[in-house]
Amino acid sequence: MKLSPAEEELMNHLWILKKAFMKDLLDAYPEPKPASTTLSTLLKRMQDKNYVGYKVFGSSRQYFPLESKESYFTKHVNNLIKNFFNDSPAQFASFFTQKSKFSEDELRQIKASIDDQLNKKK
């Protein structure tokens, strides 16, 4: 199940903090900060979606991610490839390199990364 943009923003703070109480999460936001009730609602939804867990310390909860950022991102890139590029990583890569405004140096870095992965598969 996908996170909403507001949930993704909160999840990004949680990925950075690794473990956080409500105060820590509020402090992570720039001004104007969201209401704590808003964050509580988002956290409850994210718990229901199995993205966030918590430990109870007295009357406080310490929240933590149940899924890594890499795992979350990987699932969504794979869904993007499946749903928009006919399940073809080659079509995705072609679109990605042609339509993005990468510099020549950035494209060389991408190519080097691909070459490195190809060498590891040998």
55 and 91 inside one domain? no
What's residue 52's pLDDT? 98
| Domain span including residue 31 | 5-65
Domain boundary among the residues 45, 65, 85 is at: 65
What's residue 96's pLDDT? 82
- Of 69, 56, 60, nearest in space to 11 by CA: 69
73 and 61 inside one domain? no
80 and 104 inside one domain? yes
46 and 32 inside one domain? yes
15 and 48 inside one domain? yes
Number of structural domains (the chain) is 2
Positions of the chain with pLDDT under 50: none
User: Distance of alpha carbon 100 from its chain centroid, rounded?
Assistant: 20
What's residue 40's pLDDT? 96
What's residue 13's pLDDT? 97
Is residue 49 a contact partner of residue 8, using CB atoms and an 8 Å limit?
A: no
14 and 57 inside one domain? yes
What's residue 94's pLDDT? 87
Supply the DSSP symbol for 20: B
86 and 61 inside one domain? no
What's residue 97's pLDDT? 84
The backbone torsions φ and ψ at residue 60, rounded to the nearest 5 degrees and listed phi first, read: -110, 155
41 and 87 inside one domain? no
42 and 73 inside one domain? no
What's residue 21's pLDDT? 97
pTM for this predicted structure: 0.79
User: Distance of alpha carbon 50 from its chain centroid, rounded?
Assistant: 14
45 and 82 inside one domain? no
